[in-house]
Structure 1
Amino acid sequence: MATLHNKVGAIIQDGIVEGQRFALSSDLWRYASTSTHCDLLITMAFSNDDVENKQSVMWLVQQMKEHEPNLRVEIRYHRLNSCYAIYLTADYKSLLKGAELCHIKKAIKSKFGGGMRDFSFEEAQFFAGVEGKNTFLSPMERTLIVKQMVDMMRAGKGGLTLKLPRRTISFTEGTAIVPRLQSTNVVQHVSALHNTEFLKHLQQKWVTSIEAQPIDQIKDYFGTEIAMYFAWLGHLTTALWFPSLLGIVMWFLGGFKYKNNPGDKQDLYQLISDICFVLFAFFNCIWSTIYLEWWKRVQAELAFKWGTYDATQDSYLQDPRPAFQGDYLAPNPVSGRMEPFYPAWKHIVVRYVITYPITFLCVVGMFVAMLAVFTVQDLADFYFSDSFFFHWICYLPMIVYALMIVISDKIYRRLALILNDWENYRTDDEYEDFLITKIVLFQFVTAFGSLFYIAFVLRDMKRLQETLATLLITRQVTQNIMETVVPFMIEKLKLSSLTYKMTRSMSDGSLRRHVENVRNKRQSSVEQEESPRTPREGLFTLGSPVSPEGQEVRQRKGLETEKEQPRTLSSIFREDFSLKTERLPLPEFKPSHDSNPELTQAELESVMSVYARPLDDFLEMFIQFGYVLLFSPAFPLAAVCALINNLIEIRVDAFKLCNTVQRPFGRRVKDIGAWQKAMELLGILGVMVNCVLIGQSGLVQRIWPELSWGGQILIIVVLEHVILAIKMIIDILVPDVPHWVRIETAKQEHFRREAFKRESRLLSHTQTPSSEQQNNQPEPSTPDAGPRFNRLDQLNRSKRRSITPMVRLSSFTRKPRKDSDDNCID
């Protein structure tokens, strides 16, 4: 017994000691140092074979040197997850060329017409602020450009092969290299690093503040796609105030006492409840229409303000998405550049033979399973509702149904991604639109199927009210917890576990001394960063890719230099060349001095989960809007619950983006995409559902006690057509684009035309009558030469095309150019 007691005591003592080490080592990630700047971070996957790790990273860097020789590449070893990471940074000249490739819109100088236009490298001097290399492109734009460069690195003619000790990875002609390495688990993540200084400032104004959302700052940091989602979420939250206030009034006024049996007593209280039910259903139809039309105008204003108003392009003008796989390379019918080609008939075969039947079977199967659960629920209520010992059985069917929804959603989500990949869409917009369609169809059945069954088959309004309240409240609470608390705790526990494993070889005293040194070093660096910025507190900018303190120094130097003499693009390019650092030795082997490991912010972010797109966030709000619109006459407080949830949801989603996931790559969008169409279809369905609820309400039964089934259908159809007509009239009377936006876009187009006329007249005066004189015409040596010479130079180079990654394929040959056709800033 004494021996057992000693063993138990030793186990407890060892557990306490290891727990102390676990808590102590976790300070290493809490006080991680800020990483040096890079535009893109590629993290290689962990492998037990160190030779394979070195070969894979060396091979990938070699491909980068061949495809994008101007990229600055640094290799570092991440001790936290025992893998290599590639830090990529682009010089200003490459970024400007990439800005044209990514169709980034920038402001034109006022003397050339003003307004926003796609950036053109050959006309760089026409764009406002192009001389400021630290401010012209935001960090998000820099990251998007470098990611586009990396994604468009494709295997040339004959393909590529990566030979590793335990496997061989082949790349067919036209295959994107980095996405292929991701799919084969050689590359783990491609991510953008957070700007910790600006992120801290953004959290103070967004996560912990009750003021209006800083949408413009969100756009600058996370991109227009995520900013558009939060603008839409804030707009929906504002619109929910109207049904919430009306719902509270009607709830206390009518109480919504539902008459399910013909023999129930008819009293004044029941009459008021029936009237409130019908009025609330009418209000829902009109409110949803006004809300949707109002949002169209708001998003048009935001798109114009952000320069994405005319961002929609034909699919042939868009670059293929990195994961798009073609059978062979073929010229684009519009641009003529070589790119992967996939026959259209294969899309049709996969979509109609495989995808649609599987999706239909999944939706029908879920609906049948729901009916089976309700049947079992009725049987359980019939046999065990009055039993004292077995009454708990009545709750089992709904518990099983809730678990079935959660599990089926996860399984179907993976299936939808697999089916969408099989369909092999060429552009990101097509891929996302069809993915949204698949997911929304299935989620619609799981979220609303039971409510439709109760409302129109069972016709039990009391049960509909209880079910809607239960689904709405429980879904909102559980989703907020699963979105924020659980991922945050998992991430922090994972980081603590990794730092604990990393410091296992250190003694207790060495670990304490090292953690204390790291803590003191971090605190002193924070004090040094904050001290010079005290008088300028609140001044944050995203224009510079360097650290905040270096940013201010460079900006001051830049202003002083500009006062002395005007800077030209050529001088800026020469500065970039002179400042270019040599690549680190390749590979950077695992350091031998592991006794004092110190973590960086890049290592922490590389192990965080990925936030690909706001699809799940949109889906959550779409279902919530459906609950409020379709069935809230049965439960008027649904809008109140949704309003309270959204006030929390904004901060929950903001916290998630700032603390628990990697920094996402924000796409440039002009609206909410396919979700706009889905919301409009839901609005039409809401009119139909509310009209049916009105048709079978107690008020209609009071007015026409002997109304037949056919008469009830007639009332519903007439009412539905009247409301849809009102909805259409509102849609016609309220323009989707505000009048001032139309005027401003027209002004910009007018200014551009007038500027073009002036430039054309100048060109006509500069042209000489003989071709010899034209050939002897001096060309500008820099892109900052006057507009007259630039226009003339453009005419002489009319056949030159903008450079794209596909041009560098060995299967694509460019016609030889004369010396006179050379670009002066190439």
Structure 2
Amino acid sequence: MENIELWNRRKDSTEPLLPTTPVQRTFDYILVGEKVEDESDPKAQRQRAFIQQLQKKNMTVTEITHDDKVFFGIRAPREVFEDYQYLLKVSDSCNWCGDVRGAVTQATRIRIVHFILHQTFINTGENLKELMMRDVFETTFCLHERKKQKYLQQKWARWSGLFVNQPVSEVKCYFGEKVALYYLWLGWYTKLLVPAAVLGVVVFLYGLAFFNTNPLIKEVCNSSVIMCPRCDKRCQVWQLKDTCTYAKVSHLFDNEGTVAFAMFMAIWATLFLELWKRHRARHVSQWKVYDWCEEEEELILDIVSSPDCKPKQFRHSYLRSALVLIMVTFMLSLIIGLAHALVVFRVVAAPLLDEGGSEFIRDHANSVAMMLGAVLHYVTIQIMTRVNRWVSLKLCEIEKTNSFAATERSFTVKMFTFQFFTLFSSLFYVAFFLGRINGHPGNYVRIARWRLEECHPSGCLTDLFIQMAVIMLLKQTLNNIFEFTVPWLKSCVSRNTSKKLQRKCGYCYRKACRDENGQIEPCDICKLRDWLRNYHLADTDAFSLFNEFLEMVVQFSFTTIFVAAFPLAPLLALINNIFEIRLDAIKMVKLERRLVPRKTNDIGVWTKVLEAIGVLAVIANGLVIGITSDFIPRLVYRYRYGPCATSRPHTHCMQGYINDTLSTAFVSHEGVKLDFLPGQMVTDYGLNVTQCSYRDYRNDDYTLTSQFWLVLAIRFAFVILFEHVVVVCKFIAAWFVPNNPIQVKNDRLHDKLARLKEELREMKRSKSTDV
């Protein structure tokens, strides 16, 4: 009766009927291959050969056939894990690691068996990776533990827990230290974004507070200045006041507060990294992996897999290094070439839109071309991401590194470098080259027959803002939707399959047989149901976590490198990350196959990458403020050419600044003819004009004025001063905040003392036993 009631309560659930008696035995790994009837088929022979090699290593293999698939459940013997624990104990750096004492966790079992599987070779010399490439095996995966999985769903992987602290220690026990450190880092990054986001909003509100009283905005909106055409043929002269709206928007992020905010973000990046190192040290010390050594771990696993193994020798080839260098240079040239192609697209798109578009598009042809270029840039990013990944993997194969950890480091550096150039090459062009190489009336620079594009009338920083806003919003929003939707659809298929098998199973969990150790051994249908449930989840691989790290580090780059052009970037990053943590957790716990738990004590080479981004952020923000924005020209005007500098009382210091930044071009002046056609010099009201204005510091004969050289000199002086001051502040911040908290140092000291005392006691016990 009790059995029937239990079944009725859970018959509509996808959960297996968990017994209240001893816990059922779990499998460490599952191999899946096609069912081959013909025993003489090479696939069947290779399958059998690999399974036999596993059995020679005392692995227990359970085979279950379902439709056209055959599943192999792998369970490693206890002796393997005893050897692993002993080798950890006698090693130089891991003898106080968490795995030395106590029972071996399922996460540790999976990690060891995963290594053994990939280091098992058949008589043809092929390993599991090569057999999967030949379709001998379709896939491999480790199983989710239902009780722990359900606990993580309730405590962590749920949308209602957006603002609840993450159970990082439980994540570590289930997914391993590597995944736990990713979420620990992401949580810390999200917390530290709060002050940056708040200050970014303050800078934005500062610009908003003087929105209606700012004299520069009033000067633009009330101006009667006629501006020169922005393109050839159909473009006509236009009035400066047409850009009133854009001038208001530009002032929201290009104001005096931007300089202080850029300095703050450069120092923030350093403090974030230094405080992260302290935060990491506390947790890895609690997890007993502070002194863990990656190379020694791989040596121990090599011995556990094969006692007769030989160490993989370090190798270096100048020929291979030269080939990799040439390929990297070629890829970077290709990526920069694509950035130039986007420039050409915008150059061509603007006049074409002006010729054949609607009235609205013709009036905003340059802005529409810029937005289309940003969208095309996003499409290019998506395509090049896949190309970059493939090339990075091939380059790692050419290098022939001696361990998986070295391969991962090499892949990370190459992939991030390619992605960085893919994402930022276009932004660097907009920030530092757009509008500076296009020439001037009478001498415009052209590509074929089209003029190079100019900066937006309200300033070059507006173009950079548009590019960043489009790319950042599209990238974060669409990536999150795509990342969550695909695993969710696969999860729906998994649930339907599990329900069908559950109805076939009946009461088998209550009637399950016990093995020789008294542990529950479920029937084949229950095993298969659990295996299929995991099989139908989204696939994961060794670089699944890398993709999450890459996404967040790229976001960190956007948040710091060009923050002077987009003060709201930290706020967008904060909002995204609050949801990103739960989205990744739900995806990893419920929708994807279980990641192979990996041991580590740091986020690896990503720390160096983040440090490099912090240095680049100082350089880029200094150049954006000094070269791209109008901060320096406004400063020079205020103290050298404006009303306050010329002793004109009762006049705002910035009055007349807009007219001061404009030069005049005449239809014909001393034999110099303009590049404009007569029809272009007609206003919207049908008035013919003989002169127009453009943004530059030039005389009537187009020679540069003394004011241009003064502004240029102060620009460079500001950049040098800004970077030196911020770099000194970064060094002081890094020195002031120690990497390891005092408590961690004291705890490690006590741990070492306790270990030495225990070793001494064991030695004395050993001597007394011998006597």
TM-score (norm 2): 0.71
Gap change, CA 1:436 and 1:260, over 3 Å in 2: farther
* 1:151 has 2:118 as partner: yes
Q: 2:542 aligns with which of 595, 605, 612?
A: 612
Structure 2 contact 392–415 (Cα < 8 Å) conserved: yes
Q: 1:204 aligns with which of 149, 154, 167?
A: 154
Cα distance between partner residues in 2 of 1:685 and 1:643: 21
Alignment deviations for residues 677-735 of structure 1 (CA, whole Å, 9 cap, x no partner): 10010001001111112323433223334434344223211221121111111111211
The number of aligned residues is 617
Amino acid at match of 2:409: D
Cα distance between partner residues in 1 of 2:320 and 2:217: 51
SS at match of 2:138: strand
Which range is displaced more, 140-149 or 278-287?
A: 140-149
Offset of residue 378 of structure 1:
2.4
Structure 1 contact 151–179 (Cα < 8 Å) conserved: yes
Gap change, CA 1:280 and 1:262, over 3 Å in 2: same
1:652 equivalent in structure 2: 583
Amino acid at match of 1:87: G
Q: 1:185 aligns with which of 135, 139, 143?
A: 135
Offset of residue 272 of structure 1:
9.7
1:722 equivalent in structure 2: 725
Structure 1 contact 33–599 (Cα < 8 Å) conserved: no
List aligned pairs for 1:249-648, cutoff 5 A: 249-255=202-208, 273-313=254-294, 315=295, 318-319=298-299, 338-339=309-310, 341=312, 344-346=315-317, 348-353=318-323, 355-385=324-354, 387-389=356-358, 391=361, 394=369, 397-458=373-434, 460-490=460-490, 492-493=492-493, 515=500, 518-519=502-503, 600-608=529-537, 609-613=539-543, 614-648=545-579
Offset of residue 87 of structure 1:
1.5
Q: 2:172 aligns with which of 197, 204, 219?
A: 219
Structure 2 contact 27–73 (Cα < 8 Å) conserved: yes
1:703 equivalent in structure 2: 635
* 1:57 has 2:33 as partner: no
Cα distance between partner residues in 1 of 2:358 and 2:635: 46
* 1:663 has 2:594 as partner: yes
2:73 equivalent in structure 1: 87
1:78 equivalent in structure 2: 66
Q: 1:116 aligns with which of 84, 88, 96?
A: 96
Which range is displaced more, 435-444 or 276-285?
A: 276-285
Cα distance between partner residues in 2 of 1:670 and 1:341: 23
SS at match of 2:74: strand
Alignment deviations for residues 200-232 of structure 1 (CA, whole Å, 9 cap, x no partner): 121111122231111111111111000100011
SS at match of 1:600: helix
Structure 1 contact 44–57 (Cα < 8 Å) conserved: no
Offset of residue 292 of structure 1:
1.0
Structure 2 contact 14–495 (Cα < 8 Å) conserved: no
SS at match of 2:310: strand
Cα distance between partner residues in 1 of 2:266 and 2:157: 34
Structure 1 contact 39–139 (Cα < 8 Å) conserved: no
Gap change, CA 1:259 and 1:213, over 3 Å in 2: farther
Cα distance between partner residues in 2 of 1:650 and 1:694: 33
Which has the higher relative contact order, 1 or 2, with Cα contacts under 8 A spaced 6 or more apart? Answer: 1
Structure 1 contact 41–85 (Cα < 8 Å) conserved: no
Offset of residue 98 of structure 1:
2.8
2:185 equivalent in structure 1: 232
Cα distance between partner residues in 1 of 2:394 and 2:110: 28
* 1:690 has 2:621 as partner: yes
TM-score (norm 1): 0.67
Identity %: 24
Cα distance between partner residues in 2 of 1:422 and 1:320: 26
SS at match of 1:745: helix
Gap change, CA 1:260 and 1:360, over 3 Å in 2: farther
Cα distance between partner residues in 2 of 1:85 and 1:520: 19
Gap change, CA 1:636 and 1:711, over 3 Å in 2: closer
Cα distance between partner residues in 2 of 1:622 and 1:104: 38
Offset of residue 49 of structure 1:
5.1
Alignment deviations for residues 267-294 of structure 1 (CA, whole Å, 9 cap, x no partner): 9995995211111111111111111111
Alignment deviations for residues 168-202 of structure 1 (CA, whole Å, 9 cap, x no partner): xx21xxx6x33332333212333211111221121
Alignment deviations for residues 296-331 of structure 1 (CA, whole Å, 9 cap, x no partner): 111111111111111134x47733999xxxxxxxx9
Q: 1:43 aligns with which of 11, 21, 31?
A: 31
Gap change, CA 1:711 and 1:206, over 3 Å in 2: same
Gap change, CA 1:105 and 1:518, over 3 Å in 2: farther
2:238 equivalent in structure 1: none
Give the unaligned 5+ runs of structure 2.
Answer: 1-10, 224-246, 436-459, 638-706
Cα distance between partner residues in 1 of 2:27 and 2:192: 39
2:449 equivalent in structure 1: none
Amino acid at match of 1:369: L
1:746 equivalent in structure 2: 749
Offset of residue 744 of structure 1:
1.2
Structure 2 contact 490–591 (Cα < 8 Å) conserved: no
SS at match of 1:190: strand
Cα distance between partner residues in 2 of 1:233 and 1:285: 19
Cα distance between partner residues in 2 of 1:743 and 1:750: 11
Give the unaligned 5+ runs of structure 1.
Answer: 1-26, 109-114, 121-126, 130-135, 161-169, 323-330, 500-513, 530-546, 551-575, 589-595, 763-785, 794-826
SS at match of 1:76: strand
Cα distance between partner residues in 2 of 1:42 and 1:730: 50
1:781 equivalent in structure 2: none
Amino acid at match of 1:748: D
Structure 2 contact 60–74 (Cα < 8 Å) conserved: yes
Structure 1 contact 286–727 (Cα < 8 Å) conserved: yes
Cα distance between partner residues in 2 of 1:95 and 1:630: 47
Gap change, CA 1:262 and 1:372, over 3 Å in 2: farther
Offset of residue 116 of structure 1:
2.6
Structure 1 contact 281–633 (Cα < 8 Å) conserved: yes
Gap change, CA 1:238 and 1:581, over 3 Å in 2: closer
Cα distance between partner residues in 1 of 2:579 and 2:215: 36
Cα distance between partner residues in 2 of 1:606 and 1:446: 35
2:195 equivalent in structure 1: 242
Offset of residue 448 of structure 1:
1.5
Amino acid at match of 1:701: P
SS at match of 1:241: helix
Gap change, CA 1:659 and 1:342, over 3 Å in 2: same
Cα distance between partner residues in 2 of 1:151 and 1:264: 68
Cα distance between partner residues in 1 of 2:322 and 2:307: 31
Cα distance between partner residues in 1 of 2:419 and 2:263: 26
Alignment deviations for residues 328-348 of structure 1 (CA, whole Å, 9 cap, x no partner): xxx9xxx996426567244x4
2:734 equivalent in structure 1: 731
Structure 2 contact 63–70 (Cα < 8 Å) conserved: yes
